Structure 1
Amino acid sequence: MKGPPVNLRNQGFIFLVDVIFKVYKMRTWPHLVADGGATVLQATAPELLPELVLGDLDSARPEVLQSYRDRGVEVRDLSHDQDTTDLEKCLNTAQKDFACKRIFVAGTFAGVQGRFDHTLGALNALCKAEVQGINAALLSDDSCCILLPKGRHCLTAPRQSCCGLVPLGGPVRVTTSGLCWDMKDAVLEWGGLVSTSNGLDEAGDGLVWVDTDGTVLWTCNNVP
């Protein structure tokens, strides 16, 4: 991924918690805030107004929600739906209300404060979104992950980044080039081989090519 398209509509952006990407805010539309992300957004970047705040609204402070209402932001209470996470509610709304097919999700995902279940929920949301035809990327201050569907993909990552290719469903067959430890027709599956703690080939051009016969999760961390 080289970043989002510039000045294109229908490239959705969802704020979750602990991170604000102002550059993505300028280059994407619409902008949705998931529940408690509203409190963080107001505290961190009060000048940024999303199009919509939504979720079951059990985390955002009432005064924060009212502040956004007073400034013309729609606040949508979806607490009647307890079968989906706030992230899933945002992804579904971005597609149904704004026809988004590519969505950048800003948040903190990897075992935050012991809540690894939230990370698993976010990955499951990616899988459900893919079934609906949505290509969503999870972005945080220190990492990025995105599902790669069947086919050939060209990726970039910081030179010193740790990378991984992990199946989230059944076995997938993967061939790569540009990694320290490339694979050729390798079968990735739980209980077998998964590619973690990999990295970019220092002698390469910085591009990673991935051929996969099924959906696989690409992860990399951001290195200053």
Structure 2
Amino acid sequence: MTLPEKRTMEWDPTQFFREDEDMTPPPFALVVLNQPINEIALSVLREHALTTVCADGGANRFFESAKSRGVEGTDIPDTIIGDLDSIRPEIRAHYASLGVNIVQDDDQYSTDFTKSLRYLREHEERFISSYADRISKSPAHHPIITRDPVSGERRRLEILILGGLGGRVDQAFSQIHHLYMMNQQQNTSGPGSGANTGHLYLISEESITFILQPGPNTIHVPRTNRPHTSTTSETDNPNAKTHRLPESTVDEEDHLLEENVGIIPLSGPARITTSGFQWDVEDWATKIGGQISTSNHIRAEVVHVNTNVPVLFTVELARRLKRVSR
């Protein structure tokens, strides 16, 4: 019996930041966690986000960011959800007075992070439909992309998670764990083969992180800062094939990503094949406690990773999009 060929998963982590292009990004929502957030990314992403959800104490982070810009009374989230033990009372009262939807969910078997994701998945059709109607009536905007360009299927809500990798190490691991678990759940219970499910991207102070699924994955990485073409640097991948590809010609102020990437196995040993990086590998064994691919470099506009199990993919944000240290 011949097994069906796995469908290629398409990833485009910078499409939400490419506001200068003649396009509107696909439908997406923001989740703000109770961790240090990237205020620069937040300010860019808020313009096109369909909705912004604060996970309990994430409302404190959102408020402080808005207050630093003097817009705490006008720049407000749409929903705050969680057991509400972390949001400061005065901030809860502030947002309640402004009509923010505050949902108390006392489920002790899920985190505020997973409660936020569950809320968005339960209401995603409403978010997408209402936004599509609004956009269609506004000639000043480009039509929103609600259909997958390949399959023609209705696209699901992409979710961008702000925070999660700053602060305490155990909480960072918790967010990666839940990112992994939610990806696995939606790719086994979502419509069709799972390739049409909305992606989850974790945007931290310096990186964009997401979980690649088993099979072929294509990652679009335009406007990456690729200044180096040397093949003499050391790498953790002794079997890697080095590549000397053209340098990026994008001006620094237009960069969206730096060249550094990592591909990390999470659930046990993995075997990966890559192309488009400075050090490419073929059927390469990687595991925690063995060899792992860190500090590799992007060397193409589109890169490819084929993996036999889910793996974490993380890429560095361009300097101009990183959180400013205070």
Fold match (TM-score > 0.5): yes
Choose which of 123, 126, 137 in structure 1 pairs with 2:179.
126
Taking the TM superposition and a 5 Å limit, the aligned residue runs for 1:22-171 are 22-45=43-66, 46=72, 47-78=74-105, 80-99=106-125, 101-110=157-166, 112=167, 115-133=168-186, 135-150=199-214, 151-156=216-221, 157-159=224-226, 160-171=258-269
CA distance change for structure 1 residues 101 and 173 in 2, over 3 Å: closer, same or farther?
Answer: farther
CA distance in 1, matches of 2:93, 2:311: 41
Alpha-carbon distance change, 7 to 50 in structure 1, aligned in 2, over 3 angstroms: farther
The reply on whether 1:212 has 2:230 as its aligned counterpart is: no
Does the Cα contact within 8 Å between 1:129 and 1:135 map onto a contact in 2? no
TM-superposed deviation, 1:8: 4.4
Question: For residue 96 of structure 1, what is the amino acid of its counterpart?
Answer: E
Aligned-residue RMSD, C-alpha: 2.0
Q: Is the 8 A contact 2:274 2:303 kept in 1?
A: yes
Hey, what's the Cα distance between the residues in 2 that align with 1:28 and 1:158?
26
> Which of 28, 31, 38 is matched with 1:19 structurally?
38
Moved over 6 A (4+): none
Using the alignment, how far apart are the partners of 1:161 and 1:210 within structure 2?
16
Structure number with bigger Rg: 2
Q: What amino acid is aligned across from residue 200 of structure 1 in structure 2? A: I
Paired residue type of 2:99: G
Using the TM superposition, name which of 151-160 and 178-187 deviates more: 151-160
SS at match of 1:193: coil
SS of equivalent to 2:14: coil
Contact 2:54 2:77 in 1 (8 A): yes
* Cα separation, partners in 2 of 1:181 and 1:120, compared to 1, 3 Å: same
8 Å CA contact 1:85–1:121 kept in 2: the answer is no
* Alpha-carbon separation, structure 1, partners of 2:87 and 2:293: 37
Question: For structure 2, which runs of at least 5 residues remain unmatched after alignment?
Answer: 1-12, 17-22, 67-71, 126-155, 187-197, 227-257, 320-326
Aligned position for 2:296: 198
Identity %: 29
1:81-140 CA distances to partner (integer Å, 9 max, x unpaired)? 222221111111111233554210011414x1xx11111111111112112325211002
CA contact (8 A) 1:33 1:53 kept: yes
* 1:138-167 Cα deviation digits (max 9, x unpaired): 002311100111222123254343210011
- The correspondence for 1:173, drawn from 254, 271, 281, is 271
Q: 1:168 deviation in Å?
A: 1.1
TM-score normalized by the length of structure 1: 0.87
Task: Assess if the C-alpha contact under 8 Å between 2:206 and 2:317 holds in 1.
Answer: yes
What SS is found at the alignment partner of 1:192? Answer: coil
Distance in 2, Cα, partners of 1:34 & 1:19:
16
